[in-house]
Amino acid sequence: MYCPECSGEYREGFTHCADCDVDLVESLPSPEEAPAGELVTVLETSDPGELAFVESLLRSAGIPFSTKGDHLQSLFALGAIGGYNAVAGPVSIQVSEEHAEAAAQILEEAVPDESEDPDLAAAPE
């Protein structure tokens, strides 16, 4: 038996996760599958906060995605100080071609384009 929230494994006879306060299930769902087909990059970022935000938006919308370059961040001596490692470059989020338009629409609505918003673009001198 497994907890669907924390993935904790329980012995037979248990029916409820004491930590998460949810009923146990016979087996855990399979891990998220990478998108099938040709991949399209919908975002490149060096901001870990933006990456997490966009991943959560895509998950909420049910759009499968893949990240490229996120595992390279810790391979270099300095790691990711103040964001992602400059040597490894930005992390890319990719979706299948069939989901590219929907993903772009979600990102357009959620992440403002600073060049189009005069309040965001105008920096005090």
Write down the architecture of domain 39-113 according to CATH.
2-Layer Sandwich (3.30)
Q: How would residue 91 be classed by pLDDT, with cut points 50, 70 and 90?
A: confident
Query: Where do the structural domains in the chain lie, given as residue ranges?
Result: 1-31, 39-113
pLDDT 10s digits, 92-111:
899 999 999 999 999 998 87
Mean pLDDT of the 86-94 span: 75
More confident residue, 116 or 93: 93
Q: Which residues of 56-68 are buried (b: 16+ CB within 10 A; e: fewer)?
A: ebbeeeebbbbee
pLDDT 10s digits, 50-74:
888 999 999 889 999 888 876 554 5
